[in-house]
Amino acid sequence: MSGPTTTDALLAKLSGSAKKTHRKSISLLFLGLRKESSAFILSLLREAGLAPLGRVIHDEESLLATLSQRSWDLLLHSTDVPTPLTLHTAQSSILGLAKDLPVIHIDEGLTEDQQSELLSENIHLVCSPEKHHLFLLQIEQELKQLETRRMLRQSQSLLEKAEVRMQSFIDEVKTAICFCKEGRIIYANESFSRLFGYDHSNCSGLQLDKLISPLQREQFWHSLHEYMHDIDSPDTLELNAVRFDNTSFKAVISMEPGIFHDRECFLLSFRQDTKHTQSHAFGDQDPISGLKNQAAFMTQLEHTVKKALHGGHDCNLLYLSLDQHKVIAEEAGPAGADQLIRDVADVLREHINIAHTVARLDSSSFGIIFFDPDVKKSSLLANTLCRAIAHIDRKIENYTLHTTCSIGIAPINDSVPRGSDLIARARLAAESLHYGNRTGNGFSVYQPEKQTTITTADSKAVIRVLDSIQNNRFRLLFQPIVPLHIEEKAANYEILLRLLSDAGDEISPNIFMSDLGDDEVMAKMDFWVLEECLKLLRLEFNAGRRNRLFINLTGRTLRNKEILPWLSEKIRELRLPADHLVFQISESDAIASPDYARAFCKGLKQLHCKTCLKHFGCTSESDNLLRELGSQYIKLDGSYINDLNSQLISIDQLEWMLKPLLQQDKLIIVPMVESTRLMSKLFRLGVHLVQGYYLQPPRAQMDYPFFDE
């Protein structure tokens, strides 16, 4: 039987993606969708672990105005609602502004010709949001492709800056450097002109032939041609160079591709032959093991990666870490540790052919570039090395040297990163052999983590977990909502639900509830949370603490007709002041179920409870919802804080948005506050309450010092 079987293992599996502290913000434009449809999509994305913000557009004027406000990620189009702005006009407007904004049509039974026409105009297609999982996967792919293009543009910008810095470096460096194209120098630095005795202003346009001894010019051009067409050819050569006065000297010439003023060319560097001197006494050799040292290994690894990127040169990197090296170094001393390194090096030389590269990387690890593409062969080698090293048995005085090793294997192919990242991959695979109760003495092949924007869950597994815990594995946490611009007599706390694993780890509802469709189980959970909150509030009042609780409601709760009568009875039974209960309703949930939301808020008002419209500003219906629901509190959507921190929006834009709310005497809450700098900005804006890790992370007790002097 494969896969996790225990409750704790199931929870651990589900919480694998819960370690991220921030949701990824995405900004969406909706064209031709009903309000309920756009709200449903926003709810779907929020349940999938994102922080979506949406705007509905109707005409070209609103599109152009909206595009100028911020950077948007996707435009979703449907034919649910007729609009003056057509899909093709919207695409033309976006292209006219040279915006990289993917335009996506929600495909509702288009013909093959219609699909072909849209795809030819670079309009992508996704299925209906009703097909939750497939829709989320398609949206994830679009977001990944957009992020890749943005990273490419950023890389191009960084490359341009690097080229400017490189030019400055070349101007000042002591090495003689020139850029060449079609056999002529297009730029040379001062060091070059000094080395060859030319006036610096006369170097541009100089033929390369004049720099090389006539007897060796053919060799020079042959080497340059080989380097251009064969990645295995040497990138340095030794020739007799000729100065301006026809005197000569032995030179070492290094060749590499270059770019000068956006022109592809060759960069040549000349230095006088100093072969008789060495900067390092041992050259590229490690003095203890006699193997190559780390610098030589990294040079070889980068060359191997460069070859692999062209295809057809796949091989494998092995990272070997000694499991007991630290203990041996402490107990047997430096002499014992060095002897162990020599013995391990002997094992490596014995079992690895000289055609492969072996090196000592640091005090307790070795690197092997195994020039064979077959991972199975690398695994066999790793297994052989593990067994051989485990049999090392050498006595030094009264101490017996014995160790095992952990070997991580990382494939090298045409999709690999740079050498240092490859080392990190192989090291991670080796370290995985120490997870849990494992102690190493084995090998592991690197497996890339599945990078995903969307969080999904195994609903059946979750249901089994929820059925097994029988309501005793939940924990309520409390995060303070701190007054910034108002006088408060009550201490405000938001209630946050967590599920506990066997090990005591807390798992967010975003993980264990994201794809759960069992209404009966979820209804039981809603009642459990509400009942626990009411009991806690009663206990706080009995202890003389006047706390106010902010309790989250979901769209499912709004549609449950049994909640309000039950709540009314509990408030009477526990004799609670109802105005100390604030129920938080998501903007997208309210739009998706407008009738239920209005009725629920009306019922809460009759009970004298308060409401808070959270995720405010994530849709185009924010103001309408505020009027219909009559909420006393407004909690700004977290995407605005992310954008403010990332400078995607300015403090003036946020002030413009908040001004109407302040005029309506709504109490504004800003979440995700994590710095003093942000606090000062919010204070100037007149925000009433703030919440975030800067003030206090969620805790098991309501113990924030609200009223301390």
**pLDDT band at residue 350, thresholds of 50, 70 and 90?**
very high
Which CATH number does the domain housing residue 363 bear?
A: 3.30.70.270
Bridge-based pairing state of the strands 667-670 and 689-690: parallel
Task: Write down the pLDDT at residue 111.
Answer: 83
Residues 669 and 635 sit within 8 Å (Cβ to Cβ): yes
Q: Convert the pLDDT of each residue in 497-527 to its tens digit.
A: 887 765 666 666 665 655 454 556 666 777 8
Work out the angle between the directed axes of helices 638-645 and 676-685 (0-180°, nearest 10): 120
- Containing 352, the helix (H) or strand (E) segment is none
The mean pLDDT of the chain is 83
**pLDDT tens-place string over residues 165-179:** 777 787 778 889 999
**CATH number of the domain encompassing residue 83:** 3.40.50.2300
Amino acid identity for residue 570 in this structure: K
CATH code of the domain covering residue 529:
3.20.20.450
What does the alpha-carbon distance between residue 43 and residue 47 come to, in Å, rounded to a whole number?
Answer: 6
| 508 and 380 inside one domain | no
pLDDT at 402: 83
User: What is residue 402's DSSP assignment?
Assistant: -
**135: domain range?**
7-152
One-letter amino acid at 181 equals: K
For residues 282 and 565, the model is more confident at: 565
pLDDT attached to residue 399 = 74
Phi, psi of 49 (to 5 degrees): 95, 10
Same domain, 416 and 341: yes
Q: Per residue, what are the HEC states of 261-329? A: CCEEEEEEEEEECCCCCCCCCCCCECCCCCCECHHHHHHHHHHHHHHHCCCCCCEEEEEEEECCHHHHH
For residue 343, give both structure tokens.
């013995």
Please give the residue that has the higher pLDDT: either 235 or 433: 433
Are 493 and 566 part of one and the same domain?
yes
Closest-CA residue to 624 (of 210, 17, 39, 5): 39
pLDDT of residue 201: 82
Q: Which burial class, exposed, middle or buried, applies to 593 when counting CB atoms under 10 A from its CB (0-12, 13-18, 19+)?
A: buried
Sheet arrangement for strand 123-126? 50-57, 24-31, 74-77, 103-106, 123-126
Least confident of 458-472, 558-572, 674-688: 458-472
Lowest-pLDDT range of 110-114, 386-390, 411-415, 435-439: 435-439
Of residues 449, 536, 438, 440, the one with CA closest to residue 494: 536
* Residue 696 domain-assigned (yes or no): no
CA distance linking residue 549 with residue 138, whole number of Å: 39
Same domain as 514, residue 439:
no
Q: Residue 450: inside a domain, yes or no? A: no
pLDDT digits (tens, 9 = 90+) for 357-390: 999 998 889 999 999 989 999 999 999 999 999 9
User: How do residues 584-597 score in pLDDT, each as one tens digit?
Assistant: 999 888 888 888 99
Segment (H or E) for 635:
strand 633-636
What is the pLDDT averaged over residues 418-437? 85
| Contact present, 297 and 284 (Cβ < 8 Å) | no
Tell me the per-residue pLDDT of 639-673, one tens digit each, with 9 for 90 and over: 888 888 877 788 888 888 888 888 888 899 999 88
**Number of residues that make up the chain:** 709
Q: Is residue 459 part of a domain?
A: no
Clarify whether residues 298 and 256 are in a common domain.
no
Kindly give, in sequence order, each residue whose CB lies less than 8 Å from that of residue 82, ignoring residues fewer than 6 positions away.
32
At position 15, the amino acid (one-letter code) is S
Check residue 449 and give left, alpha or beta (phi > 0: left; psi -120 to 50: alpha).
beta
643 in Cβ contact with 611 (< 8 Å): no
- Given a contact cutoff of 8 angstroms between Cβ atoms, the answer to whether 6 and 32 are in contact is no
| Claim to verify: residue 524 and residue 658 sit in the same structural domain | yes
- The per-residue pLDDT for 401 is 80
Residue 389 carries which side chain, given as an amino acid letter?
I
CA distance 540 to 553: 22
Give the number of other Cβ atoms within 10 Å of residue 704's Cβ. Answer: 19
* 137 and 185 together in one domain: no
Q: Both tokens of residue 494?
A: 């938001």
Does residue 458 fall inside a structural domain?
no
Q: Which residue has the tokens 């160790």?
A: 403
pLDDT at residue 311 greater than cutoff 90:
no
457 in any annotated domain: no
Band of residue 4 on the pLDDT scale cut at 50, 70, 90: very low
Domain boundary among 215, 238, 272: 272
CA dihedral 652, 658, 662, 666 (to 10 degrees): -160
Domain stop point among 152, 183, 198: 152
Nearest partner of 523 among 546, 494, 500, 555, judged by Cα: 555
For residue 538, what pLDDT is reported? Answer: 93
Query: Same domain for 225 and 322?
Result: no
Cross-strand pairs, 321:
365, 406
Q: How far is 18 from 12, CA to CA, in rounded Å?
A: 10
Q: Which two tokens stand for residue 415?
A: 């999709």
Say what percent of the chain tops pLDDT 90: 30
Same domain, 266 and 299: no
Residue 707 placed within a domain: no
Structure confidence at residue 708 as a pLDDT band (50, 70, 90):
low
Average pLDDT of the residues in 292-302: 90
Check: CB of residue 62 under 8 Å from CB of residue 615: no
Beta-strand pair 248-260/236-242: antiparallel
Q: Determine the pLDDT at residue 186.
A: 92
Task: Tell me how many domains the chain contains.
Answer: 4
Q: State whether residue 554 is helix, strand or coil.
A: coil
Task: Give yes or no: residues 641 and 492 share one domain.
Answer: yes
pLDDT at 646: 76
pLDDT at residue 208 is higher than 60: yes
Check residue 602 and give its pLDDT.
93
What pLDDT does 396 receive? 75
Is 451 part of a structural domain of the chain?
A: no
**Residue 652 shares a structural domain with residue 683:** yes
Tens digits of residue pLDDT in 125-146: 888 888 888 888 889 999 999 9
- Helix locations, 593-648, DSSP H: 594-606, 622-629, 638-645
One domain for residues 241 and 354: no
Q: Is the dihedral of CA 635, 640, 646, 647 positive or negative?
A: negative
pLDDT of residue 452: 59
CA separation for the pair 426, 382 (Å, rounded): 12
Q: What is the pLDDT of residue 469?
A: 47
Is residue 428 a part of any domain in this protein?
Answer: yes
